[in-house]
Amino acid sequence: MTTRRISRRTMLRGIGATMALPLLDIMRPVSAFGGGAQAAPGAAASARRLAYLYFPNGIARGSWHPAETGPDGRLLKLNEWMSPFEPFKDELIIPRNVWTPLGNGHVGGTPTWLTGFDYDRQAVSAGGVSADQIAGRHVGQETLLPSLELSTKGEGFFSNSLSRNSISWSAPDRPLPREVEPRAVFDRIFRPPSGGASNRSVMDAVLEDAKALRRTASTTDQVRLDEYFESIRALERRIEFSERRSTEMGRDKALTDTLMAPGPGIPPDHGEYVRLMMDLLVAAFQSDATRVVTFMLDHGQSNRYFNFIPGVKGTWHALSHYKNASGKTEDDDGVTSWSSPEEKQRMYLEVIRWHHRQVAYLLGRLKAIEEPDGRTLLDNSMIVYGAILGDGNAHDPDDLPTLLAGRGGGTIDSGRAIEFSEPTDLANLHLSLLQRMGVPIDRFGNSTTPMHEIDA
């Protein structure tokens, strides 16, 4: 079989659908970033991807520290609360003693986590453009979408608070809206705005183009295409099931596992909801629909109930104030109480560990996808997972829980804990990652010092 070369920007098209393709051997190399790793001979250049995963309400002090490290901070064993990441410890960097010296707390920290500045409540200003938007502007001309902003749908008293729901800012005073419905995310990736309304499956719509491409592809590329097409069909089926289920539960006036009325199009099982959004993130990266994603795992002062976790009761924010177990503070619901601060802290940590499992699921999905350069999608990504509070009970900005996964196309020396002797601005990390995305920048926020400690 003679394979023909195709452009990296080749898309499959049908009525009401446009599908970007994963990296294939038959694609002509394009410039995906400035400098860095070289593609294998004849293969398309592998783009670097950048994702920021945010969670609220901090942690209990000490629960982020590895249980055992070796020479040069090598991660030998993670602690029990970080155990979901144990299979991926060689893919991680866990920095200690990083902070945000300006924007802090639920209100000020959430909007400035990715800007590196302080939050001006009166002007509703995050002080600057967020790191994801700077990266998206630089690489976005190569992709269908410059960036993708995801979030779970907020629950509780603060679910409509602008500052608690915004980490992506296109200008100091311009927060970007977040996509919370899986169907809306899927359509942004695979259905162009001008494509017209259609109830057809995306895969059915592009089937003829897909068959024609597959006939001319190499055996290796055929396997990649088959796996990719099946993953898209599976996403469609899961979204359709969630939509039917939420409609049925709404009609029956049933509650979700977080004790709320189901939202239209939102999976009533919170774990399925988060993993479905994770899979959409993977699809966006694999298809090169975008190379920059933010995902808020919850809003900045989440009041979501996590009673569906065995042995846990209460809302996330209430549990984060784990040193008072009376159930009578202004942060509590007036119904739930705990036998002791120790019991409440354990439940708080179980909520955090549950979220670690979801992020570990994402890392596993990314690691399972091999790209033509021989690296995995995780190898070619940079995934920052973290919070804007250190200790949730103290509301402090010190030693922020931060984790970096992926090797940035071979530019990051992973598998280590990095201990900074002095408080180090989180903006240093943002600056380093922006430079790896090819952004010609030597300052971010108040930082002019890239975090060279992560360099390979």
Torsion of CA 425, 131, 397, 172, to 10 degrees: 110
- Which residue carries 């939420």 as its tokens? 246
* 8 A C-beta contact, residue 183 and residue 201: no
Alpha helix positions (H), 295-437? 316-320, 341-367, 427-436
Q: Give the pLDDT of residue 26.
A: 85
Q: Give the pLDDT of residue 10.
A: 84
d(CA 206, CA 43): 25
* 8 A C-beta contact, residue 161 and residue 143: no
Residue type, 259: L
Burial of 123 per CB tally in 10 Å (0-12, 13-18, 19+): exposed
- Which residue carries 């920021």 as its tokens? 52
- For 309-367, what is each residue's pLDDT tens digit? 999 999 999 999 999 999 999 889 999 999 999 999 999 999 999 999 999 999 999 99
For the chain, the maximum distance between any two Cα atoms, rounded to a whole number of angstroms, is: 73
Residue type, 297: L
d(CA 103, CA 112): 6
For the chain, what are the domain ranges? 50-198+263-447+449-454
From first CA to last CA, the distance across the chain in angstroms is 40
d(CA 19, CA 34): 26
d(CA 171, CA 133): 9
Q: CB-hemisphere CA count at 13 Å for 351?
A: 32
Return the CATH fold of 50-198+263-447+449-454. Answer: Alkaline Phosphatase, subunit A (3.40.720)
User: Tens of pLDDT along the chain (456 residues)?
Assistant: 455 788 877 889 888 888 888 988 888 654 444 433 344 444 445 899 999 999 999 999 999 999 999 999 999 999 999 999 999 999 999 999 999 999 888 999 999 999 999 999 999 999 999 999 999 999 999 999 999 999 999 988 888 899 999 999 999 999 999 999 999 999 999 986 655 545 678 988 898 888 889 888 888 899 999 999 999 999 999 999 999 999 999 999 999 999 999 999 999 999 999 999 999 999 999 999 999 999 999 999 999 999 999 999 999 999 999 999 999 998 899 999 999 999 999 999 999 999 999 999 999 999 999 998 999 999 999 999 999 999 999 999 999 999 999 999 999 999 999 999 999 999 999 999 999 999 999 999 999 999 999 999
Q: Give the pLDDT of residue 452.
A: 97
In terms of DSSP bridges, do strands 75-77 and 68-69 run parallel, antiparallel, or are they unpaired? antiparallel
User: Looking at the DSSP assignment, which residues form a beta bridge with residue 386?
Assistant: 54, 402
State phi, psi for 209 to the nearest 5 degrees: -60, -40
Which strand (E) or helix (H) includes residue 273?
helix 270-286
* 8 A C-beta contact, residue 179 and residue 188: yes
d(CA 232, CA 202): 8
Written as six digits, the tokens of 394 are 């103290």
d(CA 104, CA 87): 32
